[in-house]
Each structure stands twice: as C-alpha cells, then as structure tokens.
C-alpha cells in the first residue's frame, strides 16, 4: 500500500460512547450524542450514523466537484443514507446508499458516469471499499 502524505488531521474526542459527548479539538463541534429510538435509545440528539452520513455526503460532493469537468453542479444534491444493522447477534455493521441528483447533467447516464467517477476518488468511498456495502446511484 502507498504511504499517505498527510495534509490535514481532524481530531474528535468522545466520552460516554453512544450516550455521551463529542467535541473537536478546535471547539467547532461540541455536543451530546444519543442512541436512536429505533435501536432502544432515548433519541433526540445526533448519533454516529448521522455524523458518518453527513461526512460521507460532504466528502462525496467534493469528489464530484473534482470529476465534474464542464458539467455544472449548481443545484446538485448528495443524499447519504447510512444503515446500521447486524450480521447476527452482537455482530453489528453498516451499509451506505448514496443518491446523487445532478440537474444540469445532459442525461441520467452522464450523471451516473460522474457519480461512478466520484466514487472512485472519494476518500470515504476508498476507506469503505471492501469493508461495507456502498451503493451509489444518480437520480433525477
């Protein structure tokens, strides 16, 4: 594997796990987290899956910008859905579906080519490739 040349490092600190608190070393993020009601938690606060979805969507948008060429990304939208599930008792896992709307692409086929190209270079896509199921799809 190629050695990574580091350009930036984000630092987040958690106390209390899923029923705790998260903050970044620069103070820009500083909030409580909670388990979603759907999996037995109290809800009402953000959770790791939402944070992962937000990060993946933003990163994918950046990758899309890098591969878009002359296609305008104005009014484009990336929706990341992060699924928490399990492969059996105590064997938890994640899955991701990414839906990308590119209104100014000449066709849905062109949009899908851009989505596939973004998926090839997105750092989140690279980090998850071969580890979890990630589906990417251009939508109208």
> pLDDT tens digits, residue range 71-98?
999 999 999 999 999 988 889 999 999 9
Instruction: Kindly give the residue spans of alpha helices, DSSP state H, lying in 4-96.
Output: 48-67
As a whole number of angstroms, the distance between CA 43 and CA 18 comes to 11
Residues 1-46, CATH architecture: Single Sheet (2.20)
Of all residues in the chain, what percent are helix, strand and coil, respectively (each to 5)? 35, 30, 40
Q: Where in the chain is the domain with CATH 2.20.25.10?
A: 1-46
What average pLDDT does this structure show over 42-62? 97
| Res 108: pLDDT | 98
- Where in the chain do CATH 3.30.300.20 domains reside? 47-139
- pTM for the whole thing? 0.94
Predicted local confidence at residue 138, as pLDDT: 98
Is residue 2 very low, low, confident or very high in pLDDT (cuts 50, 70, 90)? Answer: confident
- pLDDT of 1 > 80? The answer is no
Average pLDDT over residues 26-53: 96
Q: List the CATH code of the domain at 47-139.
A: 3.30.300.20
């Amino acid at each position: 594997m190629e050695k990574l040349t580091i350009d930036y490092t984000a630092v987040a600190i958690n106390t209390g796990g899923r029923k705790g608190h998260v903050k970044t070393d620069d103070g820009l993020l500083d909030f409580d987290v909670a388990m979603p009601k759907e999996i037995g938690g109290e809800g009402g606060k953000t959770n790791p899956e939402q944070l992962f979805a937000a990060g993946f969507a933003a990163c994918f948008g950046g990758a899309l910008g890098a591969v878009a060429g002359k296609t305008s990304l104005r009014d484009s939208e990336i929706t990341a859905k992060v699924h928490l599930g399990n492969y059996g008792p105590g064997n938890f896992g994640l899955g991701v579906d990414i839906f990308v709307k590119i209104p100014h692409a000449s066709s849905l086929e062109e949009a899908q080519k851009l989505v596939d190209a973004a998926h090839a270079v997105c750092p989140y896509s690279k980090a998850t490739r071969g580890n979890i199921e990630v589906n990417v799809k251009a939508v109208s």
